[in-house]
Structure 1
């Protein structure tokens, strides 16, 4: 069991690795070296690795119970996580000059924005939902701090990215791109992405017990 000091040190590492690489000066240099796709892949791998570090630290921190677990709480997490998988599958690799992680942003069309018409920052929305869904069945202090921090990070991150994008794009261009249309259009690519989301969801369910140590379907 680790102490609270090591737990909060893992948080410091998380926030540093999620703030420094996306600063415009640092990101532009990394993109020059790695390329846009290489940067996205490296940043995603770094994010997953540091996230795993914080989760392990939370599980090893001193236990302080705040509320009791009940079976219905797992159903909330299972439902929310399916939405997380769908949002991530529909967002990754899509043009999105309004947030981070977009690909081929010059092809973005506000009139046919797809998911971006409903949420400018889908990956941050997915992170917020992941945090909210996992906090419900984890009523101990270390995990509540963990998920509240991640949820807050996602919400404040949206505002920070909006300000940064306005500064980079200019208010006029940002307003033009942000004037998106809310549409629900069924496409072949979209159906494939949803099928991938279902497969990833099933994979997460099967690996959650062996990797995390908690069976979500119990």
Structure 2
């Protein structure tokens, strides 16, 4: 690899895509910048532009990862596909129950005025369901993608989603005031299920949303259906031969560049 050769240019593109994608999510979170953008665009306009920019940068990031030189760090084994297949349903549940739910303690929540500190909903499991969903998605995909470019890609998402949790806690404490934050967060937890295990929170089944559960299932099915079309490989692992299932098969999974 030369300093000005195509391989170095490909790594530069990947680095630039990662940096710009992260900056696009970090900078708008600053109150002074978000306030100026919402004043200029309106809340709906800001969300529309933010979503469009995020999708464009995400697409560029995926393309840049595919262009990077293939440097294998560990070999692919079929069992590795079970890791994302176990974590992705959990990520879809967190996404469906966390997005738009009343939650003043993290991002991605709407109607925060309807948040009830004694019945925090999904925040009782974790204050940051969307960040945890991103961590499950990215962390699960590192295992079957053992080349350097994809480890950098998914590792970056995993790292920023992991450190984003305490960083968001600190930012929300400054915004809300420590006393208010402690009151709102009293029955929630940073570590998943810590509030439940400590007895600070008890789930309420009558508030359980069957609609959000259905949305989680649809999201997961959509991922399964679109994965071969978008990525070019089935995300499902091979199943062992079972009596009565000899007529069913899953297409052989080759060694793709991206799983």
Fold match (TM-score > 0.5): yes
Distance 1:43 1:14, change over 3 A: same
Asked which structure has the greater CA Rg, the reply is 2
1:119-176 C-alpha deviation (Å, 9 max, x unpaired): 1111111111111111010000111111111111011111221111111111111111
Report the CA distance shift for 1:41/1:177 in structure 2 as closer, same or farther (over 3 A). Answer: farther
Q: SS in structure 2 opposite 1:207?
A: helix
Given that residues 87 and 140 in structure 2 are in contact (C-alpha distance below 8 angstroms), is that contact kept between their aligned partners in structure 1?
yes
Contact 1:87–1:126 (CA<8 Å) still a contact in 2?
A: yes
8 Å contact kept, 2:10–2:64 = no
User: What is the aligned residue count?
Assistant: 218
With the length of structure 1 as denominator, give the TM-score of the two structures: 0.92
Q: Which structure has more helix as a fraction of its residues?
A: 1
In 1, Cα distance between equivalents of 2:57 and 2:142: 19
Question: Is 2:62 the partner of 1:55?
Answer: yes
Within the alignment, does 1:192 sit opposite 2:215 as a pair? Answer: no
1:150 is aligned to 157
Identify unmatched segments of 5+ residues in structure 1: none
2:182 — aligned with what? 175
Q: 2:87 aligns with which of 80, 93, 112?
A: 80
CA RMSD between the two structures: 1.9
Alignment partner, residue 148 of structure 2: 141
Aligned to 2:104: 97
Q: Per-residue deviation at 1:105?
A: 0.7
* TM, length-normalised to structure 2: 0.78
Q: Deviations over 1:13-72 (max 9, x none)?
A: 111101111111111233345554554454344333322321221122000001111111
User: Could you tell me whether the CA contact under 8 Å between 1:114 and 1:183 is conserved in 2?
Assistant: no
